[in-house]
Amino acid sequence: MYQSFQEIIDKEKSTGSLFWEIVRDNDCTEMDLTKEEAFLRMQAMYEAMKSADASYDASLSSASGLVGGDGERIAVARRAGNLLCGSFLGLVMEKAVKMGESNACMKRIVAAPTAGSCGVVPAVFLSLEEEKGYSTEQMVKALYVSAGIGGIIAQRASISGAAGGCQAEIGAASAMAAGGAAFLLGCDGETIAHAAALAMKNLLGLACDPVAGLVEVPCVKRNVIGAVNALTSADLANAGVRSKIPPDQVFDAMRSIGKALPEEIKETGKGGLAATPTGLAFKESIKGF
């Protein structure tokens, strides 16, 4: 597993291999797979994302009753042209919420990198495929890029809300999606790294404060900000904007911030939104659901 973006950037420059190929080759080594086997394995992940999106059921609610149906509400507003963000970002918002709701309703999803942040990468990727007409092969390559970024974050910082706050879940997913989107735009490894860093910088310090300790409120809606943030970060990087703090240092900062966050806002349900009067009332009302 690569420990830094710089390792991949240097290898890309020295070998001429693309970011996704470097990640795939490492996957082949770790999993003892051929290139073809590894690619099919990643393609299955992408197909599972598509299947989860297609099987969304607006009639379902989570066992707690806190989540369900909002994805369809966004879809209705989008089709009616009632969203300020427009049709494309509306589609991204819709898919992000639908995937998060499906997770809360115990349907099959892909943790990317976690269940609580499962809507970010699919919302960005599926919407881009639908809007821009990218092939399945291109999308799988982009997913390799995202997986490589997730691996670096896991090595340098954390992808656990309990350990690093929601920056480690929605923040990490947003960075992964941003890098994958930058790849689809034709960006090189250095630009991909900056897209990921820009996305993470926007979400540094995000609290993990789930109401009643469930990955529902505010988690599902946070997938929207993670997805939209990923797209804007990819566009910034593709336009030539660079993070003044080098990408690897951004994720080092993420690690230090995660360690500094009080335990009350690291998935304990003791602080933040979970500790509001309404949050506590929800917790009491669904106790033992």
* Each residue's pLDDT tens digit, 72-116: 999 999 999 999 999 999 999 999 999 999 999 999 999 999 999
* Each residue's pLDDT tens digit, 63-78: 999 999 999 999 999 9
pTM metric for this prediction: 0.98
For the chain, give percent helix, strand, coil, nearest 5: 65, 0, 30
* Residue 218 maps to a domain: yes
* Residue 82 maps to a domain: yes
Q: Which are the contacts of 206, defined by CB distance < 8 A and separation ≥ 6? A: 165, 166, 167, 170, 171, 222
Q: Kindly report the CATH number assigned to the domain that includes residue 198.
A: 1.10.4100
Q: Cα torsion for 248, 250, 252, 254, to the nearest 10°? A: -140
* Residue 71 maps to a domain: yes
d(CA 38, CA 25): 9
* Residue 171 maps to a domain: yes
How many other C-beta atoms can be found within 10 angstroms of the C-beta atom of residue 271? Answer: 18
- Say how many domains are in the chain: 1
Domain span including residue 35:
5-284
164: left (phi over 0), alpha (psi -120 to 50) or beta: alpha
183: left (phi over 0), alpha (psi -120 to 50) or beta: alpha
* Residue 289 maps to a domain: no
Give the mean pLDDT per block of 10 residues along the chain (289 residues).
95 98 98 98 98 98 97 98 98 98 98 98 98 98 98 98 98 99 98 99 98 97 98 98 98 98 97 98 85
d(CA 266, CA 250): 20
d(CA 199, CA 149): 12
